[in-house]
Structure 1
């Protein structure tokens, strides 16, 4: 995620120093969200035996992870605001959405919302931090939000049974694994369609290729996910990379 945002920052015309600040802010924010998730979910992860988690495996304590999350968040604040008040506020809103998910929204029907807000905040953060502080293009922000919804479905899909066993009833858990798997490709494909055809000017060869590749990867990932639970999330990351490449080929994420 940090590398993809860094690429967008370069395309938006940010200087090397500003690009470094942007990437650093995103890295700190993502680490704070990931580490806080591990700290909050430590008891649930132990209950279902998720040995891939460092806290469950005993490699680190929940308290250490919690401290690291707070430290990363503390670092994220000045790095974000150094990119400008508006840009910093937008990015911190996205980070706050991630923390809100970890602290309770993940167990509600609105579990998709923090992902949508968090992903949508990233191109807005880049655009508002570019020279002249241009407003982000609506179609880019909307596409990023759709990618976030798809990432949420892909991320949760392998763990639905365990989540239900520990009382987490977010949107995908309420839909169930089968319906979530069927729904997963839709926001990913819609995001690619917006990026290929929503902006000004013709889509070109890059848009046409992305419009073919993204559905194939998204649908293929969803189908393989029936036997390989981690594949859908990997497919979502690939689609996101395709979409960023498409966006870079069409220009910066500004209106």
Structure 2
């Protein structure tokens, strides 16, 4: 939301509260039984003003907090990527590394979907994976037929997939039709949007993001009230303003008496 629009919304809500205060002040010219009506009207005006003018600003709080974190020097975000093996990884790396704010790009693991495995097949793959490639030291085989293989440092997904694909063709006589490459992209917090756009050009949306910006968004969202509670609170604010208007004269009298008391104390 534009800051000018936000200021206008706040000013409009204040004007509504001034109106509520005025209603409270003219309460003395109404029958006593009208007090409940004044408070109900004040609540409705506060709730409506909150819903129309303050709630849109309230919803922008996570975005505002993330903007603050983006501008803190040295802050970095980690984008977790699930990439199709058909993507030209070298080209993607080159594009990302040339973008301002780039810190690092690392392929962490691959997932190869097969078929639903029985216990015997799971046992077989757990035995054979370590023998296919000496770099396959950490891997997991699930019942739904997914082979998850962690990549060692400086060992590319291309080499890992080629090793498995060659073995698979030799044993099963077929080829792997699809595989997923998991990677971590670390960038400057101020450049996150630029990298998200670069990734979108390749049809990639980060599955998760971690860092000061994302943490601030998560923390703000978790601490925020539901919209209906926020609107109810602004309604209560309207009632409080109306009460201040109703008892404004009493406050004025008390204030004058208090000042007189203080002056007399000083004279003594």
TM-score (norm 2): 0.24
The structure with higher relative contact order (CA 8 Å, sep 6+) is 2
Larger radius of gyration: 2
**Which of the two has greater strand per residue?**
2
